[in-house]
Amino acid sequence: MLVLLAGIFVVHIATVIMLFVSTIANVWMVGSSNFGTISTGLWLLCNKTCTQLPVSSRDEASLKAVQAFMILSIIFSVVALVLFIIQLFTLEKGKRFYVTGAVMLVCWMCILIAVSIYTARFAGTMVYSTNPHHGYCFILAWICFCFSFIISILYLVLRKK
């Protein structure tokens, strides 16, 4: 049981770190241009230097929603990690990890909403670029989506042990 808890803890920390990286780094879409490689993220457009991300007025609300839900997913994931540690040492068996599992499910939903909006509105469209493709931050966000779902289900299952 101790090994299982340690494994879940390590995966949870890895998920938090990957969420931070995928939200902060500006490599959600990558493409090439006459000036070299261009990457865009949730915040900036980077070539050799980074500038404000040019977004049309009809896509601005979608980008703000993606930014907000990614930040919320980080917050909920960190809160769930703190709750896991607190509940591990304070609650008795059979009552542990209800809240932690629920908070991780909320984190999972935030990631799902953010990445789905980004996929629907921004995937494949990149300003000043040819041959755009997804960057590592977009892939990390989907990996965090999978990990957060698995972790939340494990927390809900572990409450019985």
Q: What is the pLDDT of residues 79-106, one digit of tens each?
A: 999 998 888 888 666 667 888 889 999 9
41 has pLDDT over 90:
no
Q: SS3 of 22, please?
A: helix
What's the pTM? Answer: 0.88
- What whole-number distance in Å separates Cα of residue 68 and Cα of residue 55? 16
Q: SS3 of 136, please?
A: helix
Thinking of the domain 1-160, which architecture would CATH place it in? Up-down Bundle (1.20)
Average pLDDT over residues 45-52: 84
What residues does each domain of the chain span?
Answer: 1-160
- What whole-number distance in Å separates Cα of residue 26 and Cα of residue 47? 11
pLDDT greater at residue 91 or residue 16: 16
- What whole-number distance in Å separates Cα of residue 108 and Cα of residue 142? 10
CA 7, chain centre distance (Å)? 20
The mean-pLDDT minimum among 49-53, 77-81, 148-152 falls in 49-53
In DSSP notation, 47-87 reads SSSEEEPP--TTTHHHHHHHHHHHHHHHHHHHHHHHHHHHH
